Amino acid sequence: MADRRGALVSAASDARVLFGAAVLLALIVAAAAAPLLAPHDPLEQDLLASFLPPAFQAGADPVFPLGTDSLGRDLLSRLIYGARVALTVALVAASLAALLGTALGLIAGYFGGWVDAVISRLVDVWMAFPPVLLSIVLVAIIGAGLHSVIIAIVIIDWTRFCRVVRAEVLVQREQDYVASAVTIGLGRWRILWHEILPNLLPLLLVLITLEMGIAIIVEAILSFVGLSVSSDQATWGGLIQEGRLYIHQAWWIMVLPMACIIVSVLGLNALGDGLRRTLDPVMRR
Amino acid sequence: MLEARNLRLALPDRSRKPLFGPAPMTEILRGIDLELAAGESLGVVGESGSGKTSLGRTLLRLYRPTGGSLRFEGRDIATLAEADLRPLRARMQMIFQDPMSSLNPRQRIAEIVTQPLWAFGRDVVADHVPALLERVGLTPALAARYPHELSGGQRQRVGIARAIALQPKLVVADEIVSGLDVSTQAQILSLLANLKRDLGLALVFISHDLSVVRVVCDRVMVLSRGEVMETGPCERLFSAPRHPYTRALLEAVPLPEVDPDWIHGGPIEQEDNRGIGMQIKGTVALVTGTSRGIGPEYVRELAKRGAAKVYAAARDTTQIADLAAEFAGTVEAVELDITDPVQVAAAAERCADVQLLINNAGINHNTGLIAPTSLDNARAEMETNYLGTLAMCRAFAPVLQANGGGAIVNMLSILARVCLPLMGSLSASKAAGLMMTQGVRAELAGQGTTVIAVMPGAVETDMTRDLPPPKMPPADVAVAALDAVEQGEEEVYPGDMATGMAQGLAGDPKAVEKELAGILPQ
Amino acid sequence: MTVAPTLAVASLRLDLGHTPILRGVDIDVMPGEVHGLVGESGAGKTMVGKAVLGIAPAGARIRSGSMTFLREDLIAMPERRRRDLLGRQIALIPQDPMTGLNPVLRIDRQMTDPLRLHLGLDRPAAAAKALDLLHQVRIREPERVLRQYPHELSGGMRQRVLIAMAFSCRPQLIVADEPTTALDVTVQRQILRLIKELQETAGTAILFITHDLGVVSKICDRVSVIHSGRILESAGVADLFDFPQHDYTRALMRATPRYDRPGDLLQPVPADLTARLIAEAEALDA
Amino acid sequence: MSAGYLLKRLLLAIPTLFGVLVVVFVLLRVVPGDPVTMMVGLTASEEDIARLRELYGFDKPIFTQFLIYLGDVLQGDLGVSITRKQEVLGLILGRLPVTLELSLFAMAVALLGGMMLGVLAVYRPGRGGELVADGFSGLGLAIPDFLWALMFILLFGVLIPLLPISGQIDPRLGFEPASGFYLFESLLIGEFAAFQSVLSHMVLPAVALAIPLAAIIARILKSSLQEVMTQDYILLARARGFSRLRIVLREALQNALIPTVTLSGVQFTFLVGGTVLIERIFSYPGLGNMAIEAVINRDIPLIQGIVLTFAVMFIALNLIIDSTYVLLNPRVRHG
In this prediction, residue B267 has a pLDDT band, given cuts at 50, 70 and 90, of low
Average pLDDT, chain A: 84
> Domain residue spans in chain D?
96-289
Give the pLDDT score at D186. Answer: 86
Among B13, B15, B17, B19, which would you mutate to test the D interface (most chain D Cβ atoms within 10 Å of its Cβ)? Answer: B19
Q: Which chain B residue has its CA at the smallest distance from D332's CA?
A: B15
pLDDT tops 70 at residue A283: no
Name the average pLDDT for chain D. Answer: 86
CA B34 from centre of chain: 36
User: Which residue in A5, A10, A173, A176 has the most chain B C-beta atoms within 10 A of its own C-beta, making it the best mutation to test that interface?
Assistant: A176
Question: Quick one: pLDDT at residue D241?
Answer: 84
| pLDDT, mean of residues D298-323 | 89
Distance from CA of B21 to the nearest CA of D (A): 12
How many angstroms separate the CA atoms of A220 and D64, rounded? 39
Residues in B touching A175 (Cβ below 8 Å): 101-102
Sequence-distant (6+) residues with CB within 8 A of A170 are A109
Q: When comparing pLDDT for D126 and B113, which is higher?
A: B113
Separation between Cα atoms, residue D295 and residue D304, nearest integer Å:
10
The span from the first CA to the last CA of chain D, in angstroms, equals 6
Comparing A141-145, B340-344, B490-494, which segment has the lowest mean pLDDT? A141-145
The answer for residues whose C-beta is within 8 angstroms of residue B53's C-beta and 6 or more apart is: B97, B174, B175, B206
Rounded distance between C-alpha atoms, residue D96 and residue B258, angstroms: 78
Classify domain D96-289 by CATH number: 1.10.3720.10
Looking at chain C from residue 15 to 74, which residues have their Cβ under 8 Å from any Cβ of chain B? 31-32, 40-41
- Give the E-state strand segments of C123-221 in sequence order: 173-177, 205-210
Distance between CA D98 and CA D100 in Å, rounded?
A: 6
**pLDDT tens-digit profile of B416-461?**
988 888 788 888 999 999 999 999 988 887 777 889 999 998 887 7
Task: Report residue C207's pLDDT band, with 50, 70 and 90 as the boundaries.
Answer: very high
Interface test with B, best of C34, C154, C186 (most B CBs within 10 A): C186
Residues of C in contact with D253 (CB under 8 A): none
Domains of chain A, with CATH numbers?
2-284 (1.10.3720.10)
Pick from A94-108, A133-147, A219-233, B210-224: least confident: A219-233
Smallest CA–CA distance, residue B86 to chain A, in Å, is 5
Q: What is the pLDDT of residues C179-191, one digit of tens each?
A: 998 888 988 998 9
Cα gap B319→A42, rounded to integer Å: 104
Average pLDDT of B399-428?
Answer: 86
| Chain B residues 126-155 with a CB less than 8 Å from chain C | none
The three-class DSSP label of residue D218 is: helix
pTM: 0.74
How many other CB atoms are there within 10 angstroms of residue B266's CB atom? Answer: 14
The Cα-based distances of C76 to C69, C73, C82, C174, D243 in angstroms read 12, 6, 10, 21, 18
pLDDT at A2: 40
**What confidence tier does C144 reach under pLDDT thresholds 50, 70, 90?**
confident
All chains having 3 or more CB pairs closer than 8 angstroms to chain A: B, D
Contact partners, residue D289, CB within 8 Å, separation at least 6? D95, D276, D279, D280, D283
Kindly state the DSSP code that residue B383 receives in the 8-state scheme.
Answer: I
Yes or no: say if B104 and B113 are a contact pair by the CB < 8 Å rule: no
Percent of residues in chain B assigned helix, strand, coil, to nearest 5: 45, 20, 35
Residue D330, chain B, CB below 8 Å: the answer is: no
pLDDT of A235: 87
Residues 6+ apart with CB under 8 A from A259: none
Checking if the pLDDT of D4 tops 90, the result is no
What residues of chain A lie within 8 A of the CB of D274, using their CB? 130, 132
Rounded to the nearest 10 degrees, what angle do helices A131-142 and D2-29 cross at? Answer: 20
- Whether residue B182 and residue C172 make contact (CB cut-off 8 A), yes or no, is no
Q: What is the CA radius of gyration of chain C?
A: 19
* The predicted structure's pLDDT at residue B170: 95
pLDDT for residue D277 is more than 80: yes
Chain D positions in Cβ-Cβ contact with residue B14 (cut-off 8 Å): none
Helix (H, G, I), strand (E, B) or coil at B404: coil
pLDDT at B504: 81
Q: What is the pLDDT of residues D27-77, one digit of tens each?
A: 777 655 566 666 666 566 777 777 777 776 777 787 888 888 888 888 888
Backbone angles phi, psi at D149, to 5 degrees: -60, -45
- Contact criterion met (CB < 8 Å) for C102 and D328: no
Q: Which of A19, A124, A266 to mutate to probe the D interface, most D CBs <10 Å?
A: A124
Q: Which residues pair with C144 in a beta bridge?
A: none
| B262 closest CB neighbour out of C126, C218, C242 | C218
Each residue's pLDDT tens digit, C55-112: 888 889 999 999 999 989 999 999 889 888 888 899 999 988 878 899 889 999 999 9
C7-283 falls under which CATH superfamily?
A: P-loop containing nucleotide triphosphate hydrolases (3.40.50.300)
End-to-end CA distance of chain C: 39
- The SS3 assignment for A251 reads coil
Q: What three-state secondary structure class fits B34? A: strand
Strand partners, C210: C38
- At D37 the pLDDT is 64
D63, D69 Cβ separation under 8 angstroms: no
Lowest mean pLDDT among B39-48, B114-123, D211-220: B114-123
- Are B19 and D335 in contact (CB < 8 Å)? no
